[in-house]
Structure formats: structure tokens, C-alpha cells
Structure 1
Amino acid sequence: MKAVAVEPGLTPVKEYLQSQGCQVVDMSSHMEPSVGAVVITGLDKNLMGMQSAIQQVPVISADGLSPEAVYDRVKDYLR
């Protein structure tokens, strides 16, 4: 399974994804090509949208979502 990059500040989401068996990496400008999805806070969608388009990685906004709901979306992309 590909790793999921999580933006800093989303500790509950990161911990929940790890508890469900996801490999989680910190989001950085040097993300591995094996990243299958990116989870952001939703505050900088435009910046991340541009970066993810270059990397062709789906971006999931955690804004207003529970960690469980974020995990459901991550699972859909990583199938």
C-alpha cells in the first residue's frame, strides 16, 4: 500500500491512519513518489492543489472531517 502524506497540525488524523495500518509520512516538498494521497488542513488548498497536480496525487481536505471520515476517503484512493 502506498504511503499517505499528512500536513503538520493534523495529529489526530495521522494517529488514526497509523492505527488503521496506513504508512504515514510527513508532508514536505520532497515527498516520495510512492505517496498515494495527501491530506491537508484545507487552509492552503490552492498551494497543495498545484503541487499535487504536478505529482498527480489526490489531495484530501480534512476540513470539517473526522479522522474516520478522512480514512474512508484515503481507502477509496488507495484501492
Structure 2
Amino acid sequence: MMQRIGVEGSLTNISEALRAKGYDVVELNGGSNVQNCDCCVITGLDSNIMGMQDVQTRGSVIEATGLSADEVIKQIESKTRH
């Protein structure tokens, strides 16, 4: 089963690398499509600005700031391995 990974729109290099590895990549757009993702990759630029958190996914969330696409993929593989 192909894993679905939600990726913030500005992280195109990570989206492309994940697609090349065979992942089903969806763009995160305000959280509306995050519920069916096995993992989400975000920049963290706007994460929890107001000090509030609403959990919208049971999958892992990876904050990609400062990480290469390969490093993000390694984290996804370690978090989604069954």
C-alpha cells in the first residue's frame, strides 16, 4: 500500500523527491486534506503561532526546516515503518 504524505506547498523539492520514491504526495492547504495522511512535512514557519494546537492527523509530523530532502525521507521511512 502506497503511503500518503502531506507536504506544505513551499517544499517542492521534498514533494518531488518523495514522488520519485513512490510516495503518494498531497499538498497541505490549510489542513483540509491532512486527515488521511500517514505523515506530514511542514516548514514550521506558522506552526502554533497562537499557542493553540488542534490535532488533525494521527500520522507523524516532520518539521523540515534545515533538512535536506534525503534527511526528510529518512525520517519518514523511520516513522512510517510498520
- TM-score (normalised: structure 1): 0.83
Q: Aligned residue for 1:57?
A: 59
Give the C-alpha shift of residue 46 in structure 1: 1.5
Q: Which runs of 5 or more structure 1 residues have no equivalent in the other structure? A: none
Identical counterparts, % of pairs? 32
User: Number of residues paired by the alignment?
Assistant: 77
Quote the Cα distance in structure 1 between the aligned partners of 2:13 and 2:35.
Answer: 24
Aligned partner letter, 1:56: R
Residues 1-79 of structure 1 correspond to what in structure 2 (within 5 A)? 1-28=2-29, 29-31=31-33, 33-46=35-48, 50-51=53-54, 53-79=55-81
Output the CA distance in 2 between the equivalents of 1:42 and 1:54: 16
Question: Normalization by structure 2: what TM-score?
Answer: 0.80
For 1:58, give the aligned amino acid. S
Quick check: 1:14–1:24 contact (8 Å CA) kept in 2?
yes
Question: Which structure: greater helix fraction?
Answer: 1
| Higher RCO structure, 1 or 2 (CA under 8 Å, sep 6+) | 1
State the alpha-carbon separation in 2 of the partners of residues 32 and 11 from structure 1: 17
Structure 2, unpaired ranges of 5+:
none
Distance 2:22 2:57 in 1: 24
Write the distance in 2 (CA, Å) between the matches of 1:56 and 1:15: 24
